[in-house]
Every structure is written in C-alpha cells, then in structure tokens.
Structure 1
Amino acid sequence: MAAVEFFFDCSSPWTYLGFEALCVAAREDGFDVCFRPFLVGGVFNTVNPSVYEARAAVHSPKTRYFWKDMQDWIARSGLAIKFPPSIFPINSARAMRVCLLAADAGSCEPVARRIFQLYWSEDRDIADPGVLAEACSAGGLDPAATLEAADSPELKTRLRANTDEIIARGGFGTPTFYVGGDDMYFGQDRIGLVREAMARG
C-alpha cells in the first residue's frame, strides 16, 4: 500500500494531535507514513498571513471558540498538552531539521513524538540543542552527530525545499496530508477522510 505524505511542524498543538491520530491509523490500517518536516512559519509568511491576524484578535468570538475547540480535542485525545506553552510561538527550525535526519534513518516517528512531548507536555524549549538531544536519543540517533548535521547548510536547504514544496502543492499550514500525490487534507480532524482515501487505494 502507498504511504501517506505527512507534512508537519512540531510547533503546532493541532499537529501533535494529528501526528498521534495518523500513527494510530497507520498501525491499524497497515499503511506507511512518509514524514515530511517543514517550517510552517515560512508558509504563513508566504501564503497564509491571516494566522498572525487571528492570534492578535484574542477577544474575538472566533478566537474564544478556537480555545474551546482545542481543549475539546485535547481532552478527546488523552494527550497531555499545555497551551500556550511558556515559549510561543517557538523557533522550530532546528527541531524540524532533526526530524529530517530522523526520517532519513527511519526513526522519525519516535523522534518527532519526543519533540512533541518535550514542547507540548513538558513545556521545554525545543530550540535548545540540549533538549533536542533527548529527542535524538529516543530514536536511537547519536545526539552530537545529529545536532551537528542538523545545523549544516545542506539541512537548512533541505528544510527550505520542503517548505517551498508544500506551498507549491497548495498547502497552507500544519498538519497537511497527501494521498496519492495530489489528494490533500488539512487538519487533525481529517484523519478519518485520510483513512478512507487510503482504503480506496
């Protein structure tokens, strides 16, 4: 069976919800996940600046509902998520480059899961190399070598390329899923539709 392409940035609580739901679906339905880390801030700056406007409108009815909706989804998931964390928004570029290296090694799921936990459950700074070292270890990666490679010009170029690619393919945020190359789904609440699309083949 083909894989679901999963474009993600660990700086989003919705993406943590979508990540765990997708991993469960993949195990239950027997499909693979192709992890595609990218930098969502680059997408917002290019094609979706309204995100920043929404964050600023903290007292609007839509924003109040946004907080309620998030808490409902968190409660439903059973995950421990603190929102907002102490540092928000966060610079997730290094963390996402670590995920690129983890994907190369076939260990993106445990590494990304630990990054999500460190930031959203434990309220720690995932821009800090010392914190990211824990995520590397969770996936069996050598922390020192991985973090050195993550800061290389090559990895920075690769992350920019993934970010440019999702924009070119019509994406505008995280989490975004692609089935069969061009069938796009956005949001943690679309996992059921992703599963149905995969079942159709």
Structure 2
Amino acid sequence: MKTIEFFYDVSSPWTYLAFVNVQKLAKEEGAEILWRPFLVGGVFNAVNPTMYRMRENPVPARDAWTKQDMQAWARLAGVTITFPPKVFPVNSVKALRGLLWAKGQGKEVELATAFFELYWSEDRDISRDDVVAEAARRASLDPASLAKAITEPGVKEQLKANTDELIARGGFGSPTLFVGAEMFFGNDRLPLVREALRKS
C-alpha cells in the first residue's frame, strides 16, 4: 500500500490543517498514513533557529497576512483556529508522548484530534495535566494510564528518536511529510503529496 509519513507536532496551527486535510487525501488515494509525532522545538534548536528570531522581530504586514491566510485555510478545511492562542508557543511534550502511547492503543488519531481541537479551536493549554486528561477522555482513553505512560522512559526515547530522525532526513519544521524519499513541508504542499503518491 502507498504510504505517507506524517511527522507532526500538535503545537502548530498549520499542522492542524494538514492533519485534517491529509486524512481526506489518503482516503481518496488509497494510501496509509504513518503518524510520526516529534518535538518541533528540538528541530528548531538544532537546525532552524530563525523561527525564534522571527517571533522576536515581528513584521506587522506579514503577520496580518498570515492570520488572514490561516483563517482562509481553516474555512476550507472546516475547522476553527484561534490564533494566537492565550498560551503560545505551548509546551507540547506531554501531548506528544501521549500520542506515542496511544498508537499502541489504536487511538492515536482520536487523541491527536482531541489535542488539536483543545488547543487550536478551544484555546486551552495542552501542557496542563487537566487538559491532557480531557484529551484522553475525548479519545476514550483512561487519563490515569495516559499520565503514567507520559513518564515512561521508552516513550521519552521514542519521541527523541523521531525528532532526531526527522533532522537526519532533512526536516526543519512541522508538518513534514514523506512519500518514499521525497520530502514535503507544510499544509499547502498536499497537492504535491498527491502527485507523488500517484507516480509511486
């Protein structure tokens, strides 16, 4: 089966858009999605520190356009995005570790959906334990089991391994998608992902 690798961090609004849109694309193209949570802050620190400088030196005209563009994409995808949320950037480590555990429970997509909606649509701080617990409940997972899994060394190591792998493969942000060895970055590259699937 054709496969899309989807490296993602729930702390990115563009990733929320791509998360929704890639599922539709994969269904239409008969492709499987391999979900790969990673820590985008770790990637920025290693290979893309310009992201931090952009936040420290805003360009008002660019920022206004970005908000407009984001809302246009959100309407097209049928989702609500509050930008910027009250807590931004957010520490997404607990959410990402939880997603790695949820994969083994067959609930990764449901939990990712919950985290994306809680943070981007409902403006809730997903670094808080009570919000993490709410995400678990929405995904029909046990909050206590999720809280325990977040602290497990194996889960922590897997998140680091995914982050290191993306850097090694040339990634620099979220979302990053691969079809075979071909890399794509961003929600707006999904038409190119479709083309890559069709020729693979």
TM-score when normalising by structure 2: 0.94
CA contact (8 A) 1:58 1:64 kept: no
Equivalent positions of 1:94-133 (< 5 A) are 94-133=94-133
Q: In structure 1, what is the Cα distance between the partners aligned to 2:84 and 2:120?
A: 9
Instruction: Tell me the distance in 2 between the aligned counterparts of 1:63 and 1:175.
Output: 20
User: Could you list the per-position Cα deviations for residues 31-53 of structure 1 after superposition, in whole angstroms to 9, with x for gaps in the alignment?
Assistant: 11111000000000110011111
* Structure 2 residue 168 is the aligned partner of structure 1 residue 165: no
8 Å CA contact 1:22–1:191 kept in 2: the answer is yes
Residue 48 (structure 1) aligned with residue 48 (structure 2): yes
1:72-83 → structure 2 map (5 Å cutoff): 72-83=72-83
Deviates more, 1:44-53 or 1:125-134: 125-134
Q: Does 1:174 align with 2:174?
A: yes
Between the aligned partners of 1:120 and 1:61, the Cα distance in structure 2 is 23
- For the residue of structure 2 that corresponds to 1:140, the secondary structure is coil
SS of equivalent residue, structure 2 residue 198: helix
Q: Does 2:31 match 1:37?
A: no
The DSSP-based 3-state class of the residue aligned with 1:6 is strand
Q: Aligned residue for 1:19?
A: 19
What's the % identity of the aligned pairs? 49
Q: CA deviation at 1:198?
A: 1.2
Q: Contact 1:102–1:139 at 8 Å: present in 2 too?
A: no
Report what 2:9 is aligned to: 9
Aligned to 1:142: 142
Q: CA deviation at 1:190?
A: 1.0
Q: How many Å apart are 1:92 and its aligned residue?
A: 0.2
Check 1:138–1:28 CA distance in 2 against 1; reply closer, same or farther (3 A cut). Answer: farther
Instruction: Return the alpha-carbon distance in structure 2 between the equivalents of residues 129 and 2 of structure 1.
Output: 37
Task: Pick which of 10-19 and 47-56 moved more.
Answer: 47-56
Task: Say which SS state the counterpart of residue 5 (structure 1) adopts.
Answer: strand
Contact kept? 1:3, 1:33, Cα under 8 Å: yes
Structure 2 gap ranges (5+): none
**What is the count of residue pairs matched by the alignment?**
200
- Which stretch has the larger CA shift, 48-57 or 129-138? 129-138
Aligned partners of 1:20 and 1:169: how far apart in 2? 24
Counterpart in the other structure of 2:66? 66
SS of aligned partner of 1:132: helix
| One-letter code aligned to 2:193 | V
